[in-house]
Structure 1
Amino acid sequence: MIARYGDLPQDPVSAWFAETFPHQDLLRTRIAANLHRCPVMLTDPPNKSYFGHVVELAIGLALCDQSPYPRLLHCLDPGLATRLLTMADYQATVASAASHDTVRRSDRALRPAHLFTAASRLAHVRILLNEFDRHYSDAVARTRHVLEQYPHLLHGRPNETYQTRRAFRTVWSSYSSGFHSAFRSYGPATAQVSLLDGHRHADFLLGTTVLEVKSGRLDENHYLDELIRQILTYALLAHHDGHHVTHVAVYATRYQRLLRYRLDELTNQLAGNLIDLTATGAELAALIRNQPRRRFAA
């Protein structure tokens, strides 16, 4: 007899979320109503996954004071890595320094066209690195070797790049209208935050706010359920790892909306009772550690 989908047992982490936070539907309804009132941005990039990478990486390059995404940059020739950071307006902190590890963001105004070029190159690196990460422990070395042999992989298909650039211009115009200033006001930015020894990775930690960037659709319940679980996971694990986290936020670029919640108030509401963040984070961490290890997502 074949089991129906609804009869299949939940994995331990999903079951824990359902039991610990039984009122997630309240947040889902709230987010859906909020986004429903927002004008949807009319962008249609040919490769939505690639586009999402480009947007996230460009935001990281624009926000971080020090060189972000070191793992991606180490997949490149040091000279090329430094050139990409220079395009994104990072400057060496020492006149003779040649390493991309010794740069800091300059005070110059952001240049969207240059940011796109740097972010799009790094997006191709990330996609290749993620493929190697699924199978090899030396993924960085393998990625670097392949890119040395086939440097054209950094450029992608011309037509896809052109259409992605057009969509990026639209998103970046919206981002520059106030979201960048809001993010900077939250505090110093760290991109691709490794949590629980690399079991999970949050898009950003801005001061005491964990931020998730979403470039795709959020118009169906399963998208919102996944989003809610993501932000709760990242916030609880960040707290467990010793980060001082007070808020969790979502930047929905397609809807031109920033949603931000106090972590303690949110978890209490979704649980229906007072939540001990330290104990709850430790429970979740233990469950995730007992799962098969996910490969690193750059």
Structure 2
Amino acid sequence: MGLRFRVLRQDPVDAWFAETFPQQDLLRAEIAAELGRCPVLLTDPPNKSYFGHVVELAIGLALCDQSPYPRLFHCLGPGIATRLLTMAGYQPTVAGAGAGAGAAGYDARRRSDPVVHPAHLFTAASRLAHVRILLNKFDRHDCDAVPNTRYVLEQYPHLLHGLPRETYQTRRAFRAVWSSYCGGFHGALRSYGPATTQLSLLNGHRHADFLLGTTVLELKSGRLDEDRYLDELIRQILTYALLAHHDGHHVTHVAVYATRYQRLLRYRLDELTNQLAGNPIDLTAAGAELTALIRNQPRRRSAA
């Protein structure tokens, strides 16, 4: 009776993944072996979630040619948004300069400085991380998240800076990750193609960290030393790739950049899904099935 009760309560998406891709343990073992090939960065930030946001945002700012994360910047006044974009190496285009200090002006900025000082990039990314955390709180309560976040930050600008001790320790951990990232990972990710950050999928039901050309990339800055972490990672990359395919994006590969383990793993999507399924998979049909199941779940609030 207990087993039957658990089966009846199993999430339909979980059941679909287990049935469609029964060979996921093969990929889990492969990823675990790959992560063990390089020295682990012994970073220990005080707030791992905040640190993860900072690393992701810094990489997004470094990869994109046009100013990324518009939803975050719309939570800020034009002055601070412009300063952060300038620190990250973005300058106005001719059209953007004509828009003055308004939102269109900083939305239209493009990268002019290919090499940005890590301290400047950290400052921009850490400020945006605090914006994202606040914005996500409003999102979870079904509020008008962007105007509410902007109002709170106007009233309490100190929220952009965080706690001094936390910021200092996070900066120290960031230096280690950034030194590793600049040792070859930046060039590899740039080679995949133009970067899109926080790719909205299925009308905002899910968000992928990055779409680089035709590669869906998941970024992980934390631990991946247990099966449950790897199982979640595999589920994420498959979900994002199938939904991106369903949404009309040309996706040929999925990739994982595990910053703590200094590893970048990339797989052909069709070969990977065939391997995990144990037989050829129709990506269009699989994407449609997964889409239908996710649409029937309670909606997750949009990510920043």
TM-score, normalized by the shorter chain, greater than 0.5: yes
User: Aligned with 1:44: secondary structure?
Assistant: coil
State the match for 2:155 in structure 1. 149
Is 1:282 the counterpart of 2:284? The answer is no
Is 1:110 the counterpart of 2:112? The answer is no
Alignment of 1:19-34 (within 5 A): 19-34=19-34
State the match for 1:81 in structure 2. 81
State the match for 2:230 in structure 1. 224
Residues 199, 210 of structure 2: 8 Å contact kept: yes
Q: What count of residue pairs does the alignment treat as equivalent?
A: 298
Residues 90, 113 of structure 2: 8 Å contact kept: no
How many Å apart are 1:36 and its aligned residue? 1.7
State the TM-score, normalizing by the size of structure 2. Answer: 0.95
Mean CA deviation greater in 137-146 or 12-21 = 137-146
State the match for 2:302 in structure 1. 296
User: Aligned with 2:43: secondary structure?
Assistant: coil
2:174 is aligned, of 168, 175, 186, to 168
2:98 is aligned, of 71, 78, 96, to 96
State the match for 2:267 in structure 1. 261
How many Å apart are 1:82 and its aligned residue? 1.1
In the aligned structure 1, how far is the partner of 2:3 from the partner of 2:292? 29
How many Å apart are 1:297 and its aligned residue? 1.6
State the TM-score, normalizing by the size of structure 1. Answer: 0.97
Runs of 4+ in 1 over 4 A off after TM superposition: 1-8
Compute the RMSD of aligned alpha carbons. 1.5
Residues 122, 171 of structure 2: 8 Å contact kept: yes
1:183 is aligned, of 189, 196, 200, to 189
State the match for 2:132 in structure 1. 126
User: Aligned with 1:141: secondary structure?
Assistant: helix
1:80-120 deviation per Cα after TM superposition (whole angstroms, max 9, x unaligned): 11110000000000243432111001144121110000000
Is 1:135 the counterpart of 2:137? The answer is no
User: Aligned with 2:222: secondary structure?
Assistant: coil
State the identity as a percent.
83
State the match for 1:12 in structure 2. 12
Residues 219, 257 of structure 2: 8 Å contact kept: yes
In the aligned structure 2, how far is the partner of 1:284 from the partner of 1:62? 32
**Structure 2: stretches of 5+ with no match in the other structure:** none
The one-letter amino acid paired with 1:85 is L
Alignment of 1:208-219 (within 5 A): 208-219=214-225
How many Å apart are 1:220 and its aligned residue? 0.2
1:1-60 deviation per Cα after TM superposition (whole angstroms, max 9, x unaligned): 988996673100000000000000000010011112221101100000000000000000
In the aligned structure 2, how far is the partner of 1:118 from the partner of 1:127? 15
The one-letter amino acid paired with 1:89 is G
Alignment of 1:29-44 (within 5 A): 29-44=29-44
**Structure 1: stretches of 5+ with no match in the other structure:** none
In the aligned structure 2, how far is the partner of 1:28 from the partner of 1:6? 24
Q: 1:5 to 1:259 in 2, by over 3 A?
A: farther
How many Å apart are 1:79 and its aligned residue? 1.5
In the aligned structure 2, how far is the partner of 1:183 from the partner of 1:5? 45
The one-letter amino acid paired with 1:106 is S
User: Aligned with 2:9: secondary structure?
Assistant: coil
Q: 1:12 to 1:114 in 2, by over 3 A?
A: same
1:59-86 deviation per Cα after TM superposition (whole angstroms, max 9, x unaligned): 0000011110000100000121111000
In the aligned structure 2, how far is the partner of 1:263 from the partner of 1:148? 44
